[in-house]
Every structure is written in structure tokens, then in C-alpha cells.
Amino acid sequence: MDFGLVDEESATELRSYQISFVVRSRCPSIGRTLHELGLPRMPEVQVLELWRAGQVVPEGLRTPLLHKDIVKVTATAASVARLRRAYDGLEPAVHRDLEILGARRRHRRLFEAVVAPKSQLAEAPLARQKERMLRLGAVILAVRRPGGTPKEAAGAGDVLLLEALPGCLEAAGDFTLVAPVEASKPPRAGKTQDRLRGLLCLLGFLAVILLNGGHLVPLATAVLVLDFLCCFSKVLGWKEAMRSVNGSVILTIAASFGISTALTQTGAASALANALLHVGLHYGPFGVLCMVYAGTALLTNIISNTATCVMMIPVASHVSHQLQATDCPCPFNEKTLLILVILASNSAFATPLGSPCNILVVDAGDYSFSDFLRFGGVLQLMMMVATCCLLYAYPCA
């Protein structure tokens, strides 16, 4: 039996909703076109029409946006969430209903819900069901019907895209299946409290820099206090703060310290430092800087920048001590070499393995390993020359 195959484009179309967004007065995209904003290039998003004053705008993609313009798109549930996060001031056309839900935006999510056969939603047009859904704590954003036939009332099997508080849809009894959309919290922007929270984060960040830079408060203490302030001011919840802690990164850092100690105690760091020093001294202190940079850059293109930095710090220290013991006049100290290691370990351009950012763009841009070597390798050399020249000319005191 031939079941047939559904290609990726058709599958996306089957999962898409038709939804309208309105341009609010605070939208920073006013005056720019949809094409300039990159909206048509968003994955799983197709721009249908641009409406202005009740009429379709011809060449909508090339027309600068104005306040109260309506942008109609088809998009999957995940793409709707991404679109709301990416474009501040571009809100669902039912934004007034969303405001009625109250200020608990950080608790709300997008949900996809399948209408049950005996649901009350089938008894009257959806437009007249608005008050009932608001009492439940939900707002309908879009409808997806199996046959694609437009009709006023919802039918069994229709899929609704809703914004709601967790738990309220299951309690309603109108749906046979309710599925939350990942990372779909509504953006918290545009209100006075949002601006105050943003100002708190900015001032807190500046305070951390000033207090630590002035040697008044340890960095860990200052950052921890700022984290507590953010939680108490409801910038984020305690559970969100805990989920943001990346266990694999912490484990990598902890393991890197062990490797760093092993390199020092076994003499591997000293041996590597001697090798770098031996080659670099043929070209003077500047050559030593280039060799330390090259060794660090080579590692950071293979393993993480955190592990590279921790592993290369003892090597840089050994290079500095041995360089001071030679007869060659050296214009820089150990601190300069450590700064060099920090900068070099964060310059992973030559392979797709050195940074999560590199890995993320491989599929999106259809890049190959050779593309990174050709373009990233040249950039790596340029960065090495620029960094080494600046640190050689202006060493740390």
C-alpha cells in the first residue's frame, strides 16, 4: 500500500495558523519595511498581507510600516512565539483581550488545544465565546481546521492556538488534547513596570562593574545580590533562575580546573611552555606572544573556550617566568600574557566546533568545514596580528 510521503514544506503548512499582528505605537520597526526587518525570511513564517485603514496594501513587503497597520501571516505555534520575541511592538490583533488576562504574563504560555466533540465552543461562533474564554483565563489567537474551510463556530478536531495560564484549559473540559508550546511566554515589554525592571537590570549590572572594578565587593557576591534583586522584583522567577544554570558548563569548568592542575603537576604545562618559548624566541618577544596566541587559538577551535582558557593559564604563566629568566629584554609581564590567553580563547573562527554559535549557523547557512577554514582561518590570523601588536605596544602595567 502506498501511503505517500509528506515533504517538510507541506508538513509545515499543515501545522500553520493564520494570525494577524498589529503594529503598536511603541514599535521600533515603524518606518521600516517587512523585507528590511527580515520577517519573510523567518523559518516557518509566510507573510500574507499588509492591511492599512481597512485595505490591503499593494507591495506590502516593500511598504514602510505605520502605527495600527495589520500584518497577516501564516506561522506554526513555535514561530508565533519566536516572532513575538523578535519584534517588540508587533502584537497579536487580540492584544486588548490579552491585557484583560492581567499582569501575570510570566506565568502564561501558548497552548495548542484540540476541540472535543461535545465542546461548548461548537455551540456558538468563536467571537461570542470570548467572554467565556476570558473567564477561564484564556484568549484564542488563531484556529486551524482540518479541512481548512472557514466557519464561525469551532468544530470537533479543530486546533486552537491560545494564550492561557497553565491548568485552566484542562479544567474547562472543551478539549481532548492540550499541548504547551515551548519557550512561548509573552514578551514583557511596553508597560511602566517593564521599563522599571529593565532599568533595574541595567543599573544593577553597572553597579556590579563599578563595585568590583573598585575592589569594593567580590564579583561573586555582587552578582549573587543582583540575582536576588532580579528575583524579588519579578524580573524572573526562582525556578527560571535555577533552570538558567547550565550544569554542563559548570561541569566543564570544574573538570578544566582538574586538567589545569594535572598539566602543572606533571610538567606538561612546562614542556608546552618551553616549546612555545623555543619557537617564539627566534622572532623575539613578539614571536612569543604570537606562539602563545596560536597555541590558545588552536585549542579553542577544538574544545570550548572555557576549558581552553583554564588549561592555557598555567602555560602562559610558565612562559612568562621562563621569559623573564632569559637574557632577552621583555617589554611585557605575566598579566599581559594572561590577557592574551583570554582574548585568544574567545576567538574561535576556524572550525564549526569551537563555539555553539558556529554550530548553530552550520545548518542554517549550509556551511562546510572548509568554509570555516577559508574565511575563519584568515580572520583568525588577522585577530592574532592585531591582538599581539596591541599588547606588544601597550602591555599591561
pTM for this entry: 0.67
- In DSSP terms, which residues pair with 112 in a beta bridge? 161, 179
Q: What one-character DSSP code corresponds to residue 373? A: I
Banded model confidence at residue 207, pLDDT cuts 50, 70, 90: very high
Instruction: For residues 292 and 363, give the distance between their C-alpha atoms in angstroms, rounded to a whole number.
Output: 32
> How do residues 32-54 score in pLDDT, each as one tens digit?
999 999 898 888 899 999 999 99
DSSP of 266-285, one letter per residue?
TTHHHHHHHHHHHHHGGGHH
Select from 328, 345, 330, 355 the least CA-distant residue to 387: 345
Instruction: For residues 337 and 330, give the distance between their C-alpha atoms in angstroms, rounded to a whole number.
Output: 12
Q: What b/e readout covers 11-42, taking b as 16+ CB neighbours within 10 angstroms?
A: ebeebbbebbbbbbeebebeeebbeebebeeb
User: Which cell goes with 299?
Assistant: 585549542
- Dihedral sign for Cα atoms in the order 207, 213, 215, 217: positive
Q: Which residue has the cell 485552566?
A: 168
Q: What pLDDT shows up at residue 1?
A: 42
Instruction: For residues 204 and 197, give the distance between their C-alpha atoms in angstroms, rounded to a whole number.
Output: 10
Is residue 187 within 8 Å of 88, Cβ to Cβ? yes
> How do residues 327-379 score in pLDDT, each as one tens digit?
666 777 888 889 999 999 888 888 887 777 777 677 666 788 888 888 888 99
Q: What one-character DSSP code corresponds to residue 184? A: -
Whether 147 shows a pLDDT value over 70: the answer reads no
Instruction: For residues 102 and 360, give the distance between their C-alpha atoms in angstroms, rounded to a whole number.
Output: 36
Whether 69 shows a pLDDT value over 90: the answer reads yes
